């Protein structure tokens, strides 16, 4: 194992472990804000629920902070040369995150947790709003940073080989960032909703705190239903189209689509075999990949073999499985939340113990899906190899598409 | 432009040292000034509302370093890899200590996190001081502009030094005493009763010890960096910083009974002045080298001027918004009497 692999593993572990917390914090921030809004309209039960979740939010936030500081430091400790090249550009979004988002979040979190009497109901609602806004803003700057690594815009390469920012506006309006941001935030909301619904289901199954638990469930299931659907359509769809357009070999690898075909099939399950370049034991829906990609059932979809080998992502089976775990779990989330929402609408949810069991047991899976999603995004491109900085200059000389320019 | 961003960076780091340093000092002290659970609550509640926003100054300063001087971040962070990994663990332990302690009513749980927080605060102060010592002393940058320092070699200040040598350990000790003093002055101003009396007694001897250490340190710096004499003669106004640091400490020591908040603020000013002493002495380097020709200066470490200029557009409004947050937090916390009553 060479040094670069060790650095990748260390950074990957830091990033994956860190993201367990922000996804919950960002999801809960929205839900707490919704509960506080209901409380402001006189729903005392929602206010009690918001106090309960604010405490969990506080712990998750603290863990997010202490696991996030290492990520910032590790840009320097592990990817020194990458930082040197790109700091003038992504340093902007990272510093903006500190100045605009973190200060807002950290300043008002204490008031959200302990300031209800100090600030009064209206002031407390504002604190909840600012914590939500701050946490989602921080998500934007981080996703903006990641998006630049996927799809760099608004910069030029100097003669010294470093990236120079030419347009801050272009950096912040990177189309990749907007699509990725929406998909990421929807994913975080799903985590928040499944956590809240799972805890509500747990209390109802134990017949404890039933009034609170019902409020948890009703809010989490309604928002969770919307978010689960939005993760696929439209945000997941937009994200996939972005990958098709700018990183076509990555898309083919994610889908396990090796050979160019009309009426390309969508593979649901199956193992990619890198010797034969086929999917072993596939379960597939004919034509669906063509339809989802180009909205025509018999459109041609480029396969991986259409691209030169050096453009292929490095670890295709891992990429394929990460993507399929995310998409598969996402589909299951839609099914669970649709069923729960239907039962809620028929006022049968609290009495359906089988559904409560499903909701409770589903709690960890959004964390897995979000982690798999980030791995899908991080594995193929954007590997900042410290050993070869000149590739940045040679492959990313313009601002046009450049997948895998960090290799 | 580079000098402006260097000042901004020093300001942000300094604010972390002053505010985050208060929390570190309180963290170090809380085992000694609080003798029972009620007193401990009093001590911790005095920093609990503010420690997170205070720590964000460190994160924001890191972001600013990345933005303005990417080469310095790249070289320094990879060169100090071992020390930074230690710092990260300490930051994690301390943050968790502050937050997780209250979620289980268990004696062992409380004892574990209390000691963890105290020890990690102490070691963090030591590490941050040693880091500053390393920067002032200069690091063994080679002709390619990179370096790697082991944790220690033979504790001498030489060509191939470790992160810890006699000079950096001395700076680390001074940092521990300075931040403990800062924490004691904070408690002296913000809490009441027995705890305040103990903090007051601590400050009565921490202040003089710190002043002696600073004088020793100033002399030692000339021994560790012979070229400082030249620096002092080209920028004689730099002398104003160590002098005002001393003045601030004297003010803090003498006025801590009659005007406790004034004493705390004087200590804040002294900490800013100490950091400025260090940064003026290295300017225009951002990472001095043992071989001066290899040093990273603010010019060769800076991002492109266009990046720096566009960042000013958002940084200036940003800092006013942040000032607003802090004014709001502190006014709201003062409003209802002593901290700790929710």
ipTM of predicted assembly, 2 dp: 0.85
Tell me the C-alpha distance between A268 and A242, whole Å.
Answer: 21
Each residue's pLDDT tens digit, B140-191 = 888 877 788 888 777 777 777 788 888 889 999 999 999 999 999 999 998 8
Cβ atoms of B156 and B117 within 8 Å: the answer is no
pLDDT-derived band at B341 (thresholds 50, 70, 90) equals very low
- Owning domain of residue B140: 18-190+285-335
Nearest CB among A81, A118, A166 relative to B332 is that of: A118
Tell me the C-alpha distance between A67 and B261, whole Å.
Answer: 34
Cβ atoms of A384 and A12 within 8 Å: the answer is no
The answer, yes or no, to whether residue B84 has pLDDT greater than 60, is yes
Token digits of residue B46: 């005095």
pLDDT-derived band at A193 (thresholds 50, 70, 90) equals very high
Q: Scanning the structure block, which residue is given the tokens 């046009």?
A: A400
Tell me the C-alpha distance between A371 and A124, whole Å.
Answer: 33
Tell me the C-alpha distance between A102 and B101, whole Å.
Answer: 23
Each residue's pLDDT tens digit, B12-38 = 999 999 999 999 999 999 988 888 888
The rounded percent of chain B whose pLDDT value lies above 90 is 39
Segment A286-311 shows an average pLDDT of 89
pLDDT value for B222? 84
pLDDT value for B7? 93
Tell me the C-alpha distance between A173 and B41, whole Å.
Answer: 47
> Would B6 be classed as within a structural domain?
no
Q: Which of residues 141-170 of A touch B (CB under 8 A)?
A: 158, 162, 164-166, 168
Each residue's pLDDT tens digit, B224-280 = 877 777 777 788 888 888 889 999 998 888 888 888 899 999 999 999 999 998 888
For A55-98, what is the HEC assignment? HHHHHHHHHHHHHHHHHHHHHHHHCHHHHHHHHHHHHHHHHHHH
Give how many domains chain B has, as a whole number.
1
Nearest CB among A62, A84, A108 relative to B99 is that of: A62
> Would B220 be classed as within a structural domain?
no
Window from A200-204, A241-245, A368-372 with minimum mean pLDDT: A241-245
Which among A308, A360, A305, A319 has a CA at the least distance from the CA of A336? A360
Token digits of residue B57: 């100054």
Tell me the C-alpha distance between A67 and A48, whole Å.
Answer: 29
The CA distance from A310 to the nearest CA of chain B, in Å, is 29
pLDDT value for B335? 66
Q: Do A69 and B58 touch (CB under 8 A)?
A: yes
Cβ atoms of B336 and A119 within 8 Å: the answer is no
Token digits of residue B280: 């003026």
pLDDT value for A373? 94
Residues in A touching B74 (Cβ below 8 Å): 76, 80-81, 83-84, 87
Q: How many CB atoms lie within 10 A of CB B4?
A: 13
Q: Residue A207 burial by CB count (10 A; 0-12/13-18/19+): exposed, middle or buried?
A: exposed
> Would B202 be classed as within a structural domain?
no
The full DSSP string for A116-181 is: HHHHHHHHHHHHHHHHHHHHHHHHHHHHHHHHHHHS--SEEE-TTS-EEES-HHHHHT-HHHHHHH
Tell me the C-alpha distance between A302 and B95, whole Å.
Answer: 50
Q: How many CB atoms lie within 10 A of CB A41?
A: 7
Cβ atoms of A47 and A39 within 8 Å: the answer is yes
pLDDT-derived band at A213 (thresholds 50, 70, 90) equals very high
Interface test with chain B among A83, A105, A157, by most B beta carbons within 10 Å: A83
Tell me the C-alpha distance between B103 and B82, whole Å.
Answer: 32
pLDDT value for B214? 92
Residue A358: CB partners within 8 Å, gap ≥ 6?
A: A336, A339
Q: According to the per-residue pLDDT averaged within each range, which of B96-100, B139-143, B198-202 is highest?
A: B198-202
pLDDT value for A81? 84
A92 touches chain B (CB under 8 A): yes
pLDDT value for A53? 95
Q: Do A70 and B88 touch (CB under 8 A)?
A: yes
Residues in B touching A78 (Cβ below 8 Å): 78
Interface test with chain A among B53, B141, B296, by most A beta carbons within 10 Å: B53
Name the CA radius of gyration of chain B, rounded.
20
> Would B165 be classed as within a structural domain?
yes
> Would B60 be classed as within a structural domain?
yes
Token digits of residue B332: 């709201």
User: What is the distance, to the nearest Å, from the Cα of residue B165 to the centroid of all Cα atoms in its chain?
Assistant: 19
User: What is the distance, to the nearest Å, from the Cα of residue A272 to the centroid of all Cα atoms in its chain?
Assistant: 25
The CA distance from A72 to the nearest CA of chain B, in Å, is 8
Cβ atoms of A381 and A403 within 8 Å: the answer is yes
Each residue's pLDDT tens digit, A89-134 = 888 999 999 999 999 998 999 889 888 888 889 999 999 999 999 9
Q: Do B96 and A63 touch (CB under 8 A)?
A: yes
Cβ atoms of B75 and B149 within 8 Å: the answer is no
Cβ atoms of A260 and A208 within 8 Å: the answer is no
pLDDT value for A124? 93
* Degrees to nearest 5, angle at CA B230 with B229 and B235: 100
**Global pTM?**
0.88
> Would B227 be classed as within a structural domain?
no
> Would B204 be classed as within a structural domain?
no
Helix (H) or strand (E) holding B120: helix B107-137
Each residue's pLDDT tens digit, B274-333 = 999 888 888 888 888 888 888 888 888 888 888 888 889 999 999 999 999 999 888 887
Window from A47-51, A164-168, B160-164 with minimum mean pLDDT: B160-164
Token digits of residue A248: 């076509």
Q: Do B67 and A104 touch (CB under 8 A)?
A: no
The answer, yes or no, to whether residue A251 has pLDDT greater than 80, is yes
pLDDT value for B164? 87
Which among B135, B213, B155, B139 has a CA at the least distance from the CA of B179? B213
- Average pLDDT of chain A is 88
SS3 B64: helix
Nearest CA in chain A to B47: A110
How would you classify the pairing of strands B296-297 and A261-262?
unpaired
> Would B249 be classed as within a structural domain?
no
pLDDT value for A384? 38
């Amino acid at each position: 194992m060479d040094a670069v692999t060790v650095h990748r593993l260390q950074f990957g572990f830091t990033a994956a472990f860190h993201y367990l917390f922000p996804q919950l914090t960002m999801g809960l921030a929205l839900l707490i804000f919704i509960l506080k809004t209901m409380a402001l309209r006189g729903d005392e039960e929602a206010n009690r629920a918001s106090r309960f979740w604010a405490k969990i939010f506080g712990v998750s936030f603290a863990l997010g902070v202490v696991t996030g500081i290492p990520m910032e430091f590790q840009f320097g400790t592990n990817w020194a040369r990458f930082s040197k090249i790109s700091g003038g550009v992504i340093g902007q979004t990272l510093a903006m995150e500190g100045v605009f988002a973190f200060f807002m979040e950290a300043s008002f979190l204490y008031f959200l947790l302990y300031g209800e009497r100090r600030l009064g109901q209206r002031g407390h609602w504002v604190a909840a709003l600012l914590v939500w806004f701050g946490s989602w803003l921080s998500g934007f700057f981080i996703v903006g940073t990641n998006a630049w690594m996927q799809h760099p815009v608004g910069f030029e390469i100097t003669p010294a080989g470093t990236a120079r920012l030419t347009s801050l506006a272009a950096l912040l309006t990177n189309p990749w960032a907007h699509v990725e941001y929406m998909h990421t935030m929807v994913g975080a909301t799903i985590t928040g909703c499944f956590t809240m619904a799972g805890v509500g289901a747990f209390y109802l199954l134990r017949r404890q705190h039933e009034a609170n638990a019902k409020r948890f469930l009703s809010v989490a299931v309604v928002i969770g239903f919307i978010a689960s659907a939005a993760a696929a359509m439209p945000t997941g769809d937009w994200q996939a189209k972005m990958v098709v357009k700018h990183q076509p070999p990555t898309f083919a690898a994610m889908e396990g689509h090796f050979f160019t075909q009309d009426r390309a099939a969508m593979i649901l399950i199956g193992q990619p075999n890198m010797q034969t370049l086929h999917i072993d034991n596939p379960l597939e829906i004919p034509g669906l990949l063509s339809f989802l990609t180009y909205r025509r059932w018999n459109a041609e979809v480029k396969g991986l073999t259409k691209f030169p080998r050096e453009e292929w992502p490095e670890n295709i089976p891992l990429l394929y499985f990460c993507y399929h775990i995310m998409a598969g779990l996402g589909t299951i989330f839609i099914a669970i939340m649709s069923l729960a929402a239907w039962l809620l609408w028929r006022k049968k949810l609290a009495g359906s113990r089988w559904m409560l069991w499903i909701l409770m047991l589903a709690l960890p899976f959004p964390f897995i899906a979000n982690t798999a999603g980030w791995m899908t995004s991080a594995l193929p491109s954007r590997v900042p190899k410290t050993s070869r900085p000149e590739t940045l200059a040679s492959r990313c000389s313009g601002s046009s598409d450049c997948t895998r320019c960090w290799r | 432009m580079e000098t402006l961003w260097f000042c901004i960076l020093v300001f942000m780091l300094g604010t972390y040292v002053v505010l985050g340093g208060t929390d570190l000092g309180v963290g170090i002290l809380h085992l000694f000034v609080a003798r029972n659970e009620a007193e401990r609550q009093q001590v911790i509640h005095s920093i609990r509302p503010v420690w997170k926003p205070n720590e964000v100054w460190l994160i924001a300063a890191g972001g600013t370093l990345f933005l303005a001087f990417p080469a310095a971040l790249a070289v320094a962070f990879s060169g100090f890899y071992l020390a930074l990994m230690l710092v990260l663990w300490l930051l994690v332990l301390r943050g968790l200590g502050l937050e997780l302690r209250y979620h289980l009513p268990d004696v062992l749980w409380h004892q574990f996190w209390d000691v963890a927080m105290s020890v990690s605060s102490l070691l963090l102060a030591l590490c941050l001081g040693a880091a500053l010592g390393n920067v002032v002393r200069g690091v063994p940058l080679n002709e390619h502009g990179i370096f790697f320092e082991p944790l220690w070699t033979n504790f001498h200040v030489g060509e191939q030094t470790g992160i810890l040598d006699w000079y950096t350990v001395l700076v680390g000790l001074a940092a521990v005493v300075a931040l403990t003093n800062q924490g004691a002055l904070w408690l002296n101003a913000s809490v009441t009763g027995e705890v305040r009396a103990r903090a007051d007694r601590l400050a009565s001897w921490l202040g003089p010890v710190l002043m002696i250490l600073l004088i020793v340190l100033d002399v030692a710096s000339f021994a560790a960096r012979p070229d400082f004499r030249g620096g002092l003669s080209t920028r004689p106004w730099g002398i104003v910083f160590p002098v005002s640091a001393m003045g601030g400490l004297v003010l803090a020591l003498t006025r801590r009974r009659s005007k406790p908040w004034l004493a705390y603020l004087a200590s804040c000013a002294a900490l800013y002045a100490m950091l400025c002493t260090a940064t003026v002495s290295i300017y225009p380097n951002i990472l001095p080298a043992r071989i001066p020709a290899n040093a990273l200066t603010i010019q060769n470490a800076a991002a492109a001027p266009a990046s720096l200029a566009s960042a000013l557009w958002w940084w200036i409004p940003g800092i006013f918004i942040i000032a607003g947050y802090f004014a709001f937090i502190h006014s709201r916390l003062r409003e209802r009497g002593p901290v700790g009553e929710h």
